[in-house]
A and B are shown apart, each in its own frame.
Chain A
Amino acid sequence: MSRLTRLYPPRWRARYETEFDALLEALPLGLSDRLDIVRGAFIAWLTPPYGYSMRRSRVWPALVVATTILFVSAAASARETPLAAQAQYQVYVDWETGAYGAHPSTYPVLDLTIHNRGSAIQHMILAFDFHRSARPVWHVASHPEGSATIFFRPTAVTVPGSSYAWSLGSVPHSASTRFRVALDILRPHCTYTFFHVYAVVGHPGRRVPVEGGAMGGGCGMGGAP
């Protein structure tokens, strides 16, 4: 495999690698050709494969359902104990629902959140994913109907004085880890309630590169060590 072909996503290579390599070997590659290949790889990673339609997927219906559930749960949890200003950690159970391509999935999540002076958050999440076709990379258990997964969102930085947090983490689906960029909207008046929208690009093995979902939080235990 050509070094340039390695730039392309697995789903693309599975289809075109052999003939594309043969073409590259036959062509006298100039700078413009190499730039074309690099640009093509970039497009191949970011562009949904042809035939994929967000409208055909269940991403948006899942988001609507998830958002509705979120606001119901947020309203219900708003009467819980306010987050202590000095809280350093929290353990809580919440849920995540999303659409992994054409397959909606909802699963409970056990989430350990470590706060660092209110400006940085570390998430360690144990997610039990009962999505049948999801194949998480880190299995801690398996079941014919699904599997349990641990994934780690290493960074989540809040904007000081606001209720927003950006997080960048890994996605344990499709037997590969992909970066996930998410926007958390925190609700400081609850223990920890958040709305989590994310998108994932570059899924290998499936012709669905974009995922969408929402994550709703419940209130749990928290306190200063």
Chain B
Amino acid sequence: MRAGLSGLGRFSESGLLVLMSLALGDKHGYGVIVDIRDTFGIKLGPATLYQTLDRLEARGLIEPLAAEERRRPYRITSAGEAELREQLLQMQRLAAAGLERLAES
């Protein structure tokens, strides 16, 4: 089993968004959806969110906290933070290389 986001297939993008949302603090499902919508302008479907949470938790990138009534908050783990940092740095390198090529053309 691949441990990072790259093995999540169609859930890699939503996984990145969820990790970025949780990097700002623990949130339950509704909080994650609202945060991603307000911050990135992306609407995450409820099932997509929970399939993503399931996969992130299985990879140890997030962890569930004690339920608050019917809602359960999630927290990014240290492995999740490391993975998020690595993904963002990779995107930064990719963007820099692309912009450099555009400048040269």
Contacts and interface: CB of A to CB of B under 8 A. Distances in A.
B89 interface: no
A29 B45 CA distance: 9
Nearest to A56: B1
B1 A40 contact: no
Contacts of A50: 1, 54-55, 58-59
A20 B51 contact: no
Given A33-B45, A33-B46, A37-B47, A19 B54 contact: no
Contacts of B47: 36-37, 39-41, 43
Given A40-B51, A51-B58, A20 B67 contact: no
Interface residues of A, number: 26
Which of B28, B54, B67 has the most chain A CB within a 10 Å cutoff? B54
B30 A26 contact: yes
A24 B46 contact: yes
B91 to A, nearest CB: 24
A30 to B, nearest CB: 9
Interface string A43-62: 11000011101000000000
A180 B55 CA distance: 27
A28 B71 CA distance: 17
A35 B49 CA distance: 14
Contacts of B50: 16, 20, 23, 40
B70 A19 contact: yes
Contact of A19 (B45, B48, B59, B67): B67
A27 B72 CA distance: 16
Given A27-B33, A50-B55, A20 B71 contact: no
A21 B70 contact: yes
Contacts, number: 68
A33 B33 CA distance: 12
Interface residues of B, number: 22
A16 B30 CA distance: 14
Contact of B45 (A26, A40, A44, A49): A40
Given A19-B71, A20-B46, A53 B1 contact: yes
Which of B33, B47, B51, B71 has the most chain A CB within a 10 Å cutoff? B47
Contact of A20 (B1, B29, B69): B29
A37 B44 CA distance: 11
A43 B1 contact: no
Nearest to B51: A40
21 contacts: A15-B54, A19-B67, A21-B70, A22-B70, A23-B29, A23-B50, A23-B71, A26-B30, A27-B30, A27-B46, A32-B43, A33-B45, A33-B46, A35-B45, A36-B48, A40-B50, A41-B47, A43-B51, A44-B51, A50-B1, A51-B1
Interface of A: 15-16, 18-24, 26-27, 29, 32-33, 35-37, 39-41, 43-44, 49-51, 53
Given A22-B29, A37-B45, 16 more contacts: A18-B67, A19-B29, A19-B71, A22-B69, A24-B46, A27-B46, A35-B45, A36-B47, A36-B48, A39-B47, A40-B47, A41-B47, A44-B51, A49-B54, A50-B54, A53-B1
